[in-house]
Amino acid sequence: MNFSKSFRNTFLVILLSLIVSACATKKTTTKIEGQMQGDVYTGTDTVKYLADGVPDRVFFATNESILTTKSRDTLRKQATWLRENSSINVVVEGHADERGTREYNLALGERRANAAKDYLITYGISADRISVISYGKERPVDSGSNPLSWSKNRRSVTVKAN
């Protein structure tokens, strides 16, 4: 009987230790000229500009092609600029992070580029002025293999067509 009481007490001590240590675990994140919003990078260190004050890229969550609020704001700025510069055609490039197969990431990049294109069209830009290409994981902007790098690579980029 003493053995089972001793075993039970030891078990409770171990269990309480695990609970306390789990509660004390601190999650740390790296901040590099930007921030994570959900799992979407919202920084400026990788953003270039299509035109003065008009960001050229939008970011996506993991395995998603749904536009975030910030992405829609950026695309509205692009649409305004494109309406003011009606002689310019653009290419929307779709990109993915390194995880997943080449085929999966090419399809995901295409869905992302088409999501951006469709949004530009809803703001009055002719579909004839917008081409889409997917690079999948082939053109990372950050070659790191970590969550921050991946979030920078999950993007679509609007560039002037040649």
Q: Where are the alpha helices (DSSP H) in 29-159?
A: 69-84, 102-122, 147-153
The candidate with the shortest Cα–Cα distance to 78, out of 137, 133, 128, 118, is 118
Q: Is pLDDT at 38 greater than 70 in this prediction? A: no
For the full predicted model, state whether its pTM sits above 0.95: no
Tokens of 133: 């290409």
Residue 41 has pLDDT above 70, yes or no: no
16-45 burial, b at 16+ Cβ within 10 Å, e below that, comes to eeeeeeeeeeeeeeeeeebebeeebbebee
Predicted local distance difference test score (pLDDT) of residue 50: 85
Share the mean pLDDT of the chain.
84
The torsion angles phi and psi of 156, rounded to 5 degrees, stand at -125, 145
What the block records as the tokens of 6 is: 């001793």
Are 83 and 91 spatial neighbours (Cβ–Cβ below 8 Å)?
A: no
Lowest mean pLDDT among 36-40, 55-59, 81-85, 150-154: 36-40
Identify the CATH homologous superfamily for domain 32-160.
Answer: OmpA-like domain (3.30.1330.60)
Residue 71: per-residue pLDDT: 95
